[in-house]
C-alpha cells in the first residue's frame, strides 16, 4: 500500500504539531526573563531547533525509510531498543495528556466554565482518535486544510494594531542582556516542541534528502516567525507589568477590540485556535502508535489504547491544582528524549554506519 | 429439447402476447414469433414477412442486425428485448431480427437542474437514446460503452460509458469489478446501483453524482470519469466524484469568468452557512452573548424575551417545519404547492412569531440557512447539508463555540478521510494542490487558462493562450 507523503505534507505536519497551545501564554512566560527582548528569544530558540533538525535530518537520511523506533532497535539492540521505545511511548502519552490538560483548562477559563473537564477531554480525545487511526496521508491532508486557519488567525491578529501600539516597549533592542535572552529561549523551546515528529515522519516522505531539508528549514522558519510575530505584538500591545499579570496575553490583546458587528474577537480567535490545539494531540497520538507498532492493524489498536491512557491521564491531571512541578520534571525528561538520545544516535551513526550497511544489505 | 415454437412458448410461460405465425415460400417453411407488446408491426411486416415471401431465407439472412442462435434462453431473451424470431422448419438455427417498439419521452430540460444559459437537453428513460445523446456530443473513437445486465428478474440493461484514453484504467477496472459483483433480483433505479457500489454508506455526503443533464455528464466523461446509465432511468451516475464538483454548475462556464467565479464564491459561503449558521446563533444566545455588541445584543434579546423555549428547541422545530413545507409542496401540482408556500411561509412564519413561540431572529436565521442549502447546484447535496446542520446545532447547544469547532473538525476530518475509487474526495484541498484549487474550484478562470490537456499522448505541452493575439 502506498502510504508515502509529499514534502509539502511534511511541512504542514511539522507546523501543525508545533503550533498549538504553547503560543497563547508564551509572551508572558518569556518576558519574565527576557523583558522587551522576548521576541529575540523566540528567534534564538528557532536557531537551536534548526540545529537539532539538522542533526535529525542527517541521522534520518543515513537510514532511509527507517523511523526513530526502528532506528533505536538497530542502534541499541533488540531489548534495550524496545525499552527505549517504551520510554518514548510513555513520554508521548504524557505530553499529549499534559497538552490536553492545558487545553481543557484554557477552554474552561475562556469558553465553558461550568462544563466538567472530563467531558471536554473525552470529546477532544475521541476526535483525536478519529483522525489519528488513519494513514499519515489522511492526517496530512487534514493538517493542510486546517493550516488555512493560520492565515485567518494571522489576519485577526492584524486587527490588534487598532489598539494603541507602544513600540517603545521593545526599545532599546537588546536591553535585557544576552544571558536573559538565552533564558527566554529556553522557555520558548518548550512551547515550540513538536518538531520531533520529523524523526518519525521523514521515513515516509517521498523526496530527495535535499528537498526534505529545505522543507524542514522552511517549516522551522515559518513557526519561528509566527511565534515571534505573536510575541512581538503582545510586547508592543502591553506594558511589562500588564504582561506579567495576564496568563494568555494573545487572547487579552484581542479582547479589547470591538467592532460594529461583533465584540470579543478573543472568543472567535480561541474557537478557531481549538483546531491547531487538537492537531497537536493528534500528532502525539500518531507518534504513540508509531513507536510501538509497525503494521496498520496493530497501529490502529495502539492509537485507541493510547487514547484511553491519555484520557485517564488528562482527567487525573486536570483535577490537580498545580502542574508546575510536574511540567518542569517532564520537560527536562523530554529534553533528554528528543535532544540527547537522537544526538547520541547521530554520533554513534558515524561509527556504526558501515557496520549497519553491511547488516542491512 | 428441440427448438420449436412449442418450446419457446413453454419458455415464455405461454404468455398470450406471444404471436406465432407460419409462412411458406416455395418449399421453404418457417415460423415467426414475436411479443406483440414489444414489437413494431410495420417493421415485422416490411423487414421480415414481405422479403421472406418474395425471396425466402436469403432475404432474412440479409436483414441488417440479424443474429443466429440455437440456444433457447438466448432466443427467449431476444424476444424479451423486442426481437422477432424466425424459426425455419428445415434448419436447426433460429434467426433473430430486431423489431423493437420504442416509446420514449421527448428530450426536455430536467426540472431539477435548470440553468439560465446553455444547453437545455436532458436524458430520457431509454438507454439507447441516452447513449445516443452522449455519443452525439463526443464524436470520438475513444468513447467506450460496456453493457451489463443486472437483476435476475428484471434483466435491466446497464451501460458503463467512459473515454478509453482519459479514464484511469485502475478506476475502470475497479468500477467494472463492483458492477459485476452486484447481485440483485431486481434493479429499478440508479440509486440502487449507487448504494451497491459506494464505499462509505455511513457518510452523509453523496459519493456519486446523479445528473439528468447531458452537458454535465459529458463534461465529466471528458475529465476521465465514468458514467453509468441504467435503462429506464433518466439519471446518469458519475463516479468517482469529488466534493467540489457539487459546487460547479454548467452555468459557470456559460457566463463570463468573473461572473462564474463570483457565483462559485457565493456557493462556497453557502456551504459554511448551511451547516453552521443556526449553530452559531444558538451558541451566541445561549453561551457567548458577549460576542455581540450591545446594540445588536439588545434587539436579539428583546425578541427572545417572551419565547418560552430554549433556542435549540426553537431551531430544530423551525427546521422541521421547513422540511415539512418542502416535502408537502414538492409533489403537489404547482397551484396547490403555491398555496402551501403562502400558507406555510407567510401565515405560519408570522403567526409563530406573533404567538411568541419562536423569535424573530430565529426566523431570519432559519430562512437564511434554508436558502443557503438550496444554493448548492445539486439538490441532494443541499439536503445532506441540512441534515448535517442538526448535529451541529446540538453540539452548539451543549458546548457553545467549542462544540461548533469540534463538529466542524469532525466534518472536515471525515471529508479528508473518504476516498471514492481511490480518489480523495476533498481534493484538491486535502490533499492540497494550490494551483489546481485556484483554477477551477474557487475561481472559474477563463477557458484559455484552464483548458485541460486532453491529448495526454502529446509529448510537448501545448500552450493554451488566446492564440489570435499573436498574429
A137 touches chain B (CB under 8 A): yes
The mean per-residue pLDDT over the stretch B248-269 comes to: 86
For the record, the C-alpha cell of A228 comes out as 515571534
Taking the CB of residue B139, how many other CB atoms lie within 10 A of it? 7
Q: Do A264 and B290 touch (CB under 8 A)?
A: yes
- Among B409, B424, B428, the strongest candidate for a mutation testing the A interface, having the largest count of A CBs within 10 A, is B409
Burial A18-46 (b: 16+ CB within 10 A, else e): bbbbbbbbbbbbbbebbbbbbbbbbbbbb
Q: Do A263 and B292 touch (CB under 8 A)?
A: yes
CATH of the domain at A251: 1.20.1740.10
Residue A236: alpha-carbon gap to chain centroid: 25
Q: Do B412 and A111 touch (CB under 8 A)?
A: no
The mean per-residue pLDDT over the stretch B48-59 comes to: 84
The confidence score (pLDDT) of residue A68 equals 83
Q: Do A123 and B399 touch (CB under 8 A)?
A: yes
Write the pLDDT tens digit of every residue in A217-272: 999 999 999 988 988 888 888 888 888 888 888 888 888 777 777 778 888 888 99
Domain presence at residue A298: yes
The confidence score (pLDDT) of residue A309 equals 93
- Among B290, B413, B419, B441, the strongest candidate for a mutation testing the A interface, having the largest count of A CBs within 10 A, is B413
The confidence score (pLDDT) of residue B431 equals 64
Rg (CA), chain A: 20
The confidence score (pLDDT) of residue B432 equals 63
Closest by CA position to B450, among listed B243, B219, B270: B219
| Contact of B105 with B198, CB cutoff 8 Å | no
Closest by CA position to B193, among listed B244, B231, B144, B247: B231
Q: Answer positive or negative: Cα dihedral of B250, B255, B261, B266.
A: negative
Cα-based distances in Å from B248 to B169, B220, B245, B384: 26, 11, 5, 17
B428 touches chain A (CB under 8 A): no
A274 touches chain B (CB under 8 A): yes
B28/A275 Cα distance (integer angstroms): 85
A267 touches chain B (CB under 8 A): yes
The confidence score (pLDDT) of residue B3 equals 66
The confidence score (pLDDT) of residue B31 equals 87
B407/B393 Cα distance (integer angstroms): 9
B30/B59 Cα distance (integer angstroms): 13
Strands B226-230 and B236-239: antiparallel
Q: Do B288 and A111 touch (CB under 8 A)?
A: yes
To the nearest whole Å, the CA of B283 is away from the closest chain A CA by: 11
pLDDT > 80? residue B192: yes
Band of residue B459 on the pLDDT scale cut at 50, 70, 90: very low
pLDDT above 70 coverage of chain A, percent? 98
Domain presence at residue A47: yes
- Among A117, A122, A142, A146, the strongest candidate for a mutation testing the B interface, having the largest count of B CBs within 10 A, is A142
Q: Do B426 and A112 touch (CB under 8 A)?
A: no
Enumerate residues 6+ apart whose C-beta is below 8 A from A162: A257
The confidence score (pLDDT) of residue B436 equals 62
Domain presence at residue A126: yes
The confidence score (pLDDT) of residue B66 equals 82
Q: Do B293 and A274 touch (CB under 8 A)?
A: no
To the nearest whole Å, the CA of A346 is away from the closest chain B CA by: 33
Question: Cell 436447426, residue?
Answer: B92
What domain range includes position A133?
Answer: 7-360
pLDDT > 50? residue B456: no
| Contact of B336 with B285, CB cutoff 8 Å | no
List, as one string, the DSSP characters of A233-277: HHHHHS-HHHHHH-S-HHHHHHHT-B-SS-B-HHHHHHHHHHHHH
Which residue of A130, A263, A274 is in closest CB contact with B405?
A: A274
B298 touches chain A (CB under 8 A): no
pLDDT > 60? residue B463: no
User: ipTM score of the complex?
Assistant: 0.90
Which pTM value belongs to this model? 0.86
Question: Cell 469540534, residue?
Answer: B406
Q: Do B431 and A6 touch (CB under 8 A)?
A: yes
Q: What is the dihedral of CA A137, A143, A146, A150, to 10 degrees?
A: -150
Question: Cell 471528458, residue?
Answer: B222
Write the pLDDT tens digit of every residue in A98-149: 889 988 988 998 888 888 889 999 999 999 999 999 888 889 889 988 888 8
Give the CA angle between residues B401, B280, A97 to the nearest 5°.
15
- Which of A167-176, B103-112, B205-214, B373-382 has the largest mean confidence? B205-214
List, as one string, the DSSP characters of A322-337: --HHHHHHHHHHHHII
pLDDT > 50? residue B460: no
B442 touches chain A (CB under 8 A): no
Write the pLDDT tens digit of every residue in A7-32: 888 898 899 888 888 888 888 778 77
Closest by CA position to B74, among listed B8, B167, B123: B8
B349/B374 Cα distance (integer angstroms): 19
Q: Do B431 and A134 touch (CB under 8 A)?
A: no
Which residue of B288, B399, B410 is in closest CB contact with A115?
A: B399
Q: Do A262 and B292 touch (CB under 8 A)?
A: yes
Task: Please tell me which residue of chain A has the smallest CA distance to B426.
Answer: A141
Which residue of B291, B417, B431 is in closest CB contact with A267?
A: B291
Task: Please tell me which residue of chain A has the smallest CA distance to B429.
Answer: A145
pLDDT > 90? residue B437: no
pLDDT > 80? residue A42: yes
Which residue of B296, B402, B413 is in closest CB contact with A271?
A: B402
B297/B290 Cα distance (integer angstroms): 8
pLDDT > 80? residue A176: no
The confidence score (pLDDT) of residue B134 equals 92
A270 touches chain B (CB under 8 A): yes
The mean per-residue pLDDT over the stretch B362-379 comes to: 87
Q: Do A112 and B287 touch (CB under 8 A)?
A: yes
Write the pLDDT tens digit of every residue in B275-321: 889 999 999 988 888 888 888 888 888 888 888 888 899 899 888 88
| 3 state SS of B423 | strand
The confidence score (pLDDT) of residue B455 equals 43
Band of residue B53 on the pLDDT scale cut at 50, 70, 90: confident
| 3 state SS of A317 | helix
Which residue of B405, B406, B429 is in closest CB contact with A145?
A: B429
The confidence score (pLDDT) of residue A360 equals 63
Enumerate the residues of chain B whose CB falls inside 8 A of the CB of residue A270.
401
User: Higher pLDDT residue, A257 or B9?
Assistant: B9
To the nearest whole Å, the CA of B181 is away from the closest chain A CA by: 23
Q: Do A127 and B406 touch (CB under 8 A)?
A: yes
Q: What is the dihedral of CA B308, B314, B320, B325, to 10 degrees?
A: 80
Which residue of A111, A142, A262 is in closest CB contact with B412?
A: A142
The confidence score (pLDDT) of residue B454 equals 42
To the nearest whole Å, the CA of A124 is away from the closest chain B CA by: 8
pLDDT above 90 coverage of chain A, percent? 14
Which residue of B288, B293, B402 is in closest CB contact with A107?
A: B402
The mean per-residue pLDDT over the stretch B45-54 comes to: 86
Write the pLDDT tens digit of every residue in B74-124: 888 888 888 888 888 877 788 888 888 877 788 888 888 888 888 888 999
Burial B82-93 (b: 16+ CB within 10 A, else e): bbbbbbbeeeee
The confidence score (pLDDT) of residue B282 equals 92
Q: Residue A233: which region, alpha, beta or left (left: phi > 0; alpha: psi -120 to 50)?
A: alpha
A6 touches chain B (CB under 8 A): yes
Write the pLDDT tens digit of every residue in A274-312: 998 999 999 999 988 888 887 888 888 989 999 999 999
Cα-based distances in Å from A348 to A75, A336, A344, B91: 8, 16, 6, 89
- Among B282, B406, B410, B441, the strongest candidate for a mutation testing the A interface, having the largest count of A CBs within 10 A, is B406
Q: A37-46, A196-205, B427-436: which range is least confident on average? A: B427-436
pLDDT > 50? residue B458: no
To the nearest whole Å, the CA of A273 is away from the closest chain B CA by: 9
Enumerate the residues of chain B whose CB falls inside 8 A of the CB of residue A124.
406
Enumerate the residues of chain B whose CB falls inside 8 A of the CB of residue A123.
399, 406
Task: Please tell me which residue of chain A has the smallest CA distance to B409.
Answer: A275
Domain presence at residue A2: no
Band of residue B65 on the pLDDT scale cut at 50, 70, 90: confident
pLDDT above 70 coverage of chain B, percent? 92
B239/B34 Cα distance (integer angstroms): 38
Taking the CB of residue B272, how many other CB atoms lie within 10 A of it? 13
Domain presence at residue A1: no
- Among A5, A12, A112, the strongest candidate for a mutation testing the B interface, having the largest count of B CBs within 10 A, is A112
B402 touches chain A (CB under 8 A): yes
Enumerate the residues of chain A whose CB falls inside 8 A of the CB of residue B426.
141, 145
Domain presence at residue A50: yes
Number of structural domains chain A divides into: 1
Domain presence at residue A54: yes
Q: What is the 3-state secondary structure (H, E, C) of A60-114?
A: HHHCCCCCHHHHHHHHHHHHHHHHHHHHHHHHHHHHHHHHHHHHHHHHHHHCCCC
Q: Do B430 and A267 touch (CB under 8 A)?
A: no
The mean per-residue pLDDT over the stretch B236-253 comes to: 86
To the nearest whole Å, the CA of A193 is away from the closest chain B CA by: 23
To the nearest whole Å, the CA of A120 is away from the closest chain B CA by: 9
Band of residue B405 on the pLDDT scale cut at 50, 70, 90: very high
Write the pLDDT tens digit of every residue in B167-191: 999 999 999 999 998 888 888 888 8
Which residue of A141, A260, A274 is in closest CB contact with B424?
A: A141
Closest by CA position to A124, among listed A292, A276, A18, A9: A276
| Contact of A299 with A291, CB cutoff 8 Å | no
Strands B94-98 and B67-69: antiparallel
Amino acid at each position: 500500500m502506498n502510504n508515502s507523503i509529499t514534502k509539502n505534507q511534511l511541512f504542514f505536519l511539522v507546523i501543525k504539531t508545533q503550533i498549538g497551545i504553547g503560543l497563547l501564554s508564551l509572551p508572558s512566560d518569556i518576558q519574565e526573563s527576557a523583558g522587551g527582548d522576548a521576541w529575540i528569544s523566540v528567534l534564538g530558540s528557532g536557531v537551536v531547533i534548526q540545529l537539532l533538525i539538522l542533526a535529525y535530518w542527517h541521522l534520518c537520511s543515513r537510514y532511509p525509510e527507517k523511523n526513530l523506533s526502528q532506528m533505536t532497535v538497530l542502534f541499541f539492540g533488540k531489548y534495550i531498543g524496545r525499552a527505549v521505545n517504551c520510554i518514548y511511548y510513555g513520554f508521548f502519552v504524557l505530553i499529549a495528556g499534559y497538552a490536553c490538560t492545558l487545553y481543557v483548562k484554557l477552554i474552561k477559563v475562556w469558553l465553558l466554565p461550568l462544563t466538567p473537564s472530563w467531558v471536554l477531554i473525552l470529546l477532544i480525545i475521541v476526535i483525536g482518535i478519529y483522525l489519528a487511526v488513519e494513514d499519515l496521508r489522511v492526517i496530512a491532508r487534514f493538517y493542510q486544510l486546517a493550516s488555512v486557519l493560520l492565515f485567518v488567525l494571522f489576519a485577526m491578529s492584524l486587527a490588534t494594531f487598532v489598539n494603541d501600539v507602544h513600540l517603545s516597549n521593545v526599545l532599546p533592542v537588546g536591553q535585557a542582556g544576552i544571558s536573559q535572552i538565552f533564558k527566554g529561549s529556553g522557555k520558548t523551546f518548550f512551547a515550540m516542541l513538536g518538531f520531533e515528529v520529523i524523526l518519525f515522519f521523514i521515513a515516509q516522505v517521498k523526496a530527495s534528502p535535499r528537498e526534505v531539508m529545505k522543507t524542514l528549514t522552511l517549516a522551522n522558519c515559518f513557526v519561528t516567525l509566527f511565534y515571534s510575530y505573536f510575541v512581538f505584538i503582545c510586547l508592543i500591545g502591553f506594558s511589562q507589568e500588564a504582561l506579567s499579570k495576564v496568563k494568555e496575553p494573545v487572547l487579552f490583546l484581542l479582547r479589547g477590540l470591538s467592532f460594529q458587528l461583533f465584540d470579543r474577537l478573543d472568543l472567535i480567535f480561541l474557537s478557531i485556535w481549538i483546531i491547531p490545539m487538537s492537531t497537536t494531540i493528534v500528532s502525539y497520538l500518531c507518534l504513540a502508535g508509531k513507536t510501538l507498532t509497525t503494521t496498520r492493524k496493530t497501529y490502529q489498536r495502539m492509537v485507541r489504547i493510547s487514547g484511553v491512557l491519555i484520557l485517564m491521564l488528562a482527567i487525573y491531571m486536570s483535577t490537580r491544582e498545580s502542574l508546575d512541578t510536574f511540567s518542569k520534571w517532564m520537560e527536562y525528561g523530554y529534553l533528554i528524549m528528543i535532544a540527547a538520545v537522537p544526538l547520541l544516535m547521530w554520533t554513534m551513526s558515524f561509527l556504526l554506519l558501515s557496520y549497519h550497511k553491511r547488516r542491512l544489505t | 429439447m428441440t427448438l420449436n415454437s412449442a418450446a419457446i412458448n413453454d419458455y415464455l410461460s405461454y404468455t398470450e402476447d406471444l404471436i406465432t405465425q407460419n409462412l411458406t415460400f416455395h418449399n421453404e417453411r418457417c415460423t415467426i414469433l414475436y411479443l406483440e407488446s414489444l414489437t413494431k408491426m410495420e417493421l415485422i411486416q416490411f423487414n421480415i414477412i414481405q422479403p421472406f415471401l418474395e425471396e425466402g431465407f436469403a432475404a432474412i439472412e440479409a436483414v441488417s442486425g440479424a443474429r443466429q442462435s440455437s440456444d433457447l434462453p438466448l432466443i427467449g431473451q431476444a424476444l424479451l428485448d423486442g426481437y422477432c424470431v424466425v424459426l425455419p422448419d428445415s434448419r436447426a438455427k433460429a434467426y433473430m431480427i430486431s423489431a423493437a417498439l420504442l416509446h420514449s419521452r421527448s428530450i426536455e430540460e430536467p426540472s431539477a437542474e435548470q440553468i439560465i444559459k446553455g444547453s437545455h437537453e436532458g436524458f430520457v428513460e431509454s438507454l439507447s437514446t441516452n447513449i445516443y445523446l452522449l455519443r452525439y456530443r463526443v464524436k470520438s473513437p475513444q468513447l467506450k460503452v460496456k453493457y451489463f445486465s443486472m437483476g435476475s428478474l428484471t434483466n435491466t440493461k446497464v451501460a458503463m460509458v467512459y473515454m478509453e484514453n482519459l479514464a484511469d484504467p485502475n478506476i475502470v477496472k475497479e468500477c467494472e469489478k463492483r458492477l459485476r459483483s452486484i447481485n440483485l433480483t431486481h434493479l429499478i433505479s440508479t440509486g440502487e446501483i449507487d448504494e451497491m457500489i459506494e464505499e462509505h454508506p455511513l457518510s452523509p455526503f453523496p459519493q456519486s453524482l446523479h445528473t439528468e443533464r447531458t452537458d454535465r455528464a459529458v463534461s465529466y466523461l471528458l475529465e476521465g470519469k465514468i458514467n453509468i446509465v441504467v435503462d429506464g432511468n433518466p439519471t446518469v451516475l458519475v463516479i468517482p466524484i469529488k466534493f467540489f464538483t457539487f459546487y460547479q454548475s454548467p452555468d459557470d462556464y456559460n457566463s463570463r469568468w468573473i461572473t462564474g467565479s463570483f457565483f462559485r464564491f457565493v456557493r462556497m459561503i453557502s456551504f459554511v452557512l448551511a451547516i453552521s449558521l443556526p449553530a452559531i446563533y444558538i451558541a451566541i444566545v445561549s453561551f457567548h452573548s458577549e460576542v455581540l455588541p450591545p446594540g445588536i445584543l439588545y434587539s436579539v434579546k428583546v425578541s427572545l424575551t417572551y419565547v418560552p423555549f430554549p433556542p435549540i428547541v426553537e431551531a430544530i422545530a423551525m427546521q422541521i417545519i421547513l422540511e415539512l413545507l418542502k416535502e408537502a409542496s414538492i409533489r403537489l401540482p404547482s397551484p396547490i404547492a403555491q398555496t402551501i408556500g403562502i400558507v406555510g411561509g407567510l401565515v405560519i412564519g408570522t403567526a409563530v412569531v406573533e404567538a411568541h413561540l419562536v423569535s424573530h431572529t430565529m426566523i431570519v436565521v432559519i430562512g437564511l440557512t434554508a436558502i443557503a442549502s438550496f444554493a448548492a447546484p445539486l439538490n441532494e447535496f443541499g439536503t445532506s447539508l441540512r441534515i448535517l446542520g442538526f448535529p451541529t446545532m446540538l453540539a452548539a447547544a451543549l458546548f457553545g463555540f467549542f462544540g461548533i469547532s469540534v463538529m466542524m473538525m469532525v466534518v472536515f476530518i471525515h471529508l479528508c478521510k473518504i476516498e471514492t475509487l481511490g480518489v480523495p474526495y476533498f481534493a484538491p484541498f486535502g490533499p492540497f494542490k494550490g494551483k489546481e484549487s485556484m483554477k477551477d474550484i474557487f475561481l472559474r478562470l477563463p477557458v484559455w487558462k484552464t483548458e485541460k490537456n486532453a491529448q495526454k499522448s502529446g509529448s510537448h505541452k501545448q500552450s493554451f493562450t488566446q492564440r489570435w493575439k499573436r498574429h
